[in-house]
Amino acid sequence: MLPRYCIFCEIVARREPAEILYESDGAIVIRNVLRWVPVMLLAMPRQHLTQRELWRDMGEVGRVAEEMGRRFCPAGFRLASNSGMHGMQSQEHAHVHVLGGTFLGEYVSPR
């Protein structure tokens, strides 16, 4: 069952604006409206899937996320995916963050 409103489904359907960098029958990559680092992209399936469903078979989304990382962040990038409330997942539609364009630093603060 689809959620009542999904911004990513609306972007896929062209009812909401987005800067689309890649699309095929199965996947789409957009520039994230958040700008915490110079490059923040979102790679996602066109079909509404949960994070769990996507991670069971990354398929084209995984391939495209890696390709976009190499294209937009030749010095290196990070692929990240939030899952669940404690993981700070804000959108139900499965997606992978492609982050880069600067040195991203350590995952956690040194002790």
Catalytic site positions: 95
The residue whose two tokens read 């689309």 is: 20
30 burial (CB, 10 Å; 0-12 / 13-18 / 19+) is buried
The answer to whether 31 and 17 are in contact (CB under 8 A) is no
Burial 66-97 (b: 16+ CB within 10 A, else e): bebbeebbeeebebebeeeeeeeeeebbbbbb
Look up residue 23 and give its two tokens: 């699309």
Helix H or strand E segment including 18: none
